[in-house]
Amino acid sequence: MNYSQSKSPFGIILVLALLSGAMALPVQAADSVAIAGRLKLSGEYGLDRQSVEDGPSLSARLMLDGRQAAWQIHTWVEGGWDGTVDEQQQDQTTIKRFDKVYQANTPYLDFKEFYVDQELTGIDCRIGVQRFAWGRLDEYPINDLFNPWDYRQFIVKPMEERKIGVPAVAIGTSRQDWTYQLVWVPWFVPYRLPEPGNRWSMTPTITAGPDSRAMEVQPREPDLPTRTVENSSIGFRIQQLGEIEWAFNLFHGFDPRPVFKTTALTVAESRTGLVIDPGYVPSFQRITAVGLDAATVLGSFSLRTEAAYTINRAFNVRQEFWGYPAVPALGTTSLNSIVIESATLDYGIAADYQPLEDILLTIQAQQTLILDRPDSLFERAIETLLWANLKTDWLNQKIETSLNLAYNPEHGANMTKAGISYVFTDSWKADINALLLHGPPQSIFGRYAMNDQIGLEVIYQW
């Protein structure tokens, strides 16, 4: 893909810096070194013939932990062949970068986590590529804002695989029932988006050109915020244990949710046909979020809740207001401004219930209140997401079934995910799953309504 390639050596410098840190830990003399890994072969069969087909993927995960006294080094690297990458759009690089939105690498190598940790006098200091998990809710945690997501195969991937590790400094300590954590992310890392035309693309796809010539849609890589202290993200979490565990969260930094701004629609001629710049780029918005979360046990139920008030959150207006012409003409067409800003209040509650030893039922309800909502927004003033998951183990945990339902009542959008796994041995496992999505085109699930699919995974772990 011919996106503007950033020549920043940031990724390489980061890897070298962390490797230097790793070298400082004499692994041969470490108290313990543990290596774990996973191989996964996966593929999907699209049920809708009009949808874009993905090829099979083969990925490997390697996790290495070395410890010596108060020092620890942790690495989680993933790599392999990504079947969702279109050969025509393939990137030339292998290592996933921390400064690009559109990345179509196959084969690829991704540092999900890579950090050095030292605990001295009860203070834990962790430096490197990290993932965080603030808040209590599943799937869409409200206060979990440090890690942007990789939206390639969004919804199919579990949340922990969607999260992109960010270079960060995290300092934590505990005093009796109190735990404190301070996180600083010095450099902005953008979310990763599938290219327009990809099966999981989340933006409008231009299907008609000015004539019948072949079209290549090339989105522009956005200019990232400069790497200054002003543009870093910072957060503080304080938690108290007790009958009710609660935590206060403060975050100031870039919103990990994708929003776009328009540039100009450009249609140009090339040797092979037409090249179209769709005229929008990701827009990165700084927000401040103040949140609370809590958990307790009530009888047989484990209850979890969280809420956050967010200032300056950005939204895109409905796609019919973006200003696209019915048929794009050769040349440049200006588009409308599509970003609006509003404060939001997010809140949600979840309950886990285990009626029998091998059955776990989780139900969750969450809402977003958009406090200054204009009529041009697709989202309503209150957006609700209801979510339920039933997980059951059978035959000595040899078979695991799961049924996951999600419903957005404001737009009648819904998702059904069902899966069955068979555990051959402690290392080998196979999984068949089905995904059904329904709703209006711009809704959270409806935008992927053509992506109903049956998936197969074979996993080997050691």
Partner 1 sequence: MNKILVFDFRLLILAMSMATILFASAPAHAMSGRQVYEKVHEVRIKSLNRQTEFAMTLFDKGGGTRSRAAVEYCRKTGPEAYKVLVVFKTPPDLKDVGFLVHARTFTDRDLWAYFPEFKRIRRIPTNSQDDSFFGSDFSYDDFGGPPNLDEYSFTILREEVQDGRPCYVVEVTPKVRRKWNRYVAWVAKDLFIHLKIEYFKDQEPYRAGTFTDVRIVDDIPTPFKMRMENVKTGHKTELTIESLRYHTSFPDELFTQRSLERAGK
- C-beta of 209: minimal distance to partner 1 in Å? 44
- Please pick, from the candidates 87, 122, 212, 375, the single residue that binds partner 1 as defined by CB under 8 A: 122
Q: Please report whether residue 168 would count as binding partner 1 according to CB under 8 A.
A: no
Q: DSSP assignment of 285-315, as one string? A: -EEEEEEEEEEEEETTEEEEEEEEEEEEEEE
Stretch that binds partner 1, among 42-50, 130-138, 192-200, 408-416 (CB under 8 A): 130-138
| Choice from 293, 306, 346, 352 touching partner 1 (CB under 8 A) | 352
Cα Dmax for the chain: 70
The sign of the torsion formed by the CA atoms of 166, 167, 171, 176 equals positive
Which residues, numbered 369-398, are part of the site for partner 1 (CB under 8 A)?
Answer: 395-398
Q: Which of residues 25-64 bind partner 1 (CB under 8 A)?
A: 32, 34, 36-38
Q: Does 355 bind partner 1 (CB under 8 A)?
A: no
Stretch near partner 1 under the rule CB under 8 A, chosen from 84-92, 131-139, 197-205, 369-377: 131-139
Q: Which is nearer to partner 1, 74 or 313 (CB)?
A: 74
By CB under 8 A, residue 67 contacts partner 1: yes
Chosen residue from 174, 240, 263, 376 binding partner 1 by CB under 8 A: 174
78 neighbors 40 (Cβ within 8 angstroms): no
Find the radius of gyration of the CA atoms of the chain: 23
- From the list 178, 184, 177, the residue with the least C-alpha distance to 130 is 184
Please give the Cα distance from 148 to 190 (Å, whole number).
Answer: 6
Binding to partner 1 in span 235-254, by CB under 8 A: 239, 241, 245
The answer to whether 123 contacts partner 1 (rule: CB under 8 A) is no
Rounded-to-integer distance, Cα 58 and Cα 154, Å? 18
Look at residues 20, 155, 76 and name the one whose alpha carbon lies nearest to residue 436: 155
Is 157 an interacting residue with respect to partner 1 (CB under 8 A)?
Answer: no
The answer to the question of residue 172 lying near partner 1 (CB under 8 A) is yes
148 or 278: whose CB is closer to partner 1? Answer: 148
**Consecutive H or E run containing 21:** helix 10-24
* Calpha distance 278→191 (Å, rounded): 19
CB of 251 to partner 1, least distance (A): 16
Q: Is residue 319 a contact point for partner 1 (CB under 8 A)?
A: no
- Other Cβ atoms less than 10 A from the Cβ of 161: the count is 14
Of 90, 94, 205, 300, the residue at the interface with partner 1 (CB under 8 A) is: 300
Spatial contact of 12 and 20, defined as CB atoms under 8 Å apart: no
Four-residue CA torsion sign, 313, 319, 325, 328 = positive
- Structure tokens of 24? 């400082």
Interface residues with partner 1 (CB under 8 A) are 32, 34, 36-38, 67, 72, 122, 124, 131-133, 159-160, 172, 174, 179, 239, 241, 245, 295-297, 299-302, 304, 352, 354, 357, 395-398, 423, 426-427, 429, 461-462
